[in-house]
Structure 1
């Protein structure tokens, strides 16, 4: 978070809360699927240098 200068805009708890709202769904015989992701979450992933999971769809 320091490298991405996120502490200027967010607390650690705010970032964790933002990612905590991403839901995942598990169906027997299928891979785990993640729910929709917001533009804010996409921005946080990018700023932290993390690739957005491919199963996430933009809201």
Structure 2
């Protein structure tokens, strides 16, 4: 239930995110079960953004 609430929150904020944040959000929304197990570095790599974008 908490995961769905968080995914809904991310989905509702997409239009307010920067381009890099949107890329990360898209990766998370596409595969939330997989994304929760990724490190920040791996998540950034999957989203094709720099690690610094996630800080």
The TM-score with structure 1 as length reference comes to: 0.31
Higher strand residue share: 1
Larger radius of gyration: 1
Q: Which has the higher helix share?
A: 2
Give me the TM-score of the superposition, normalised by structure 2.
0.32
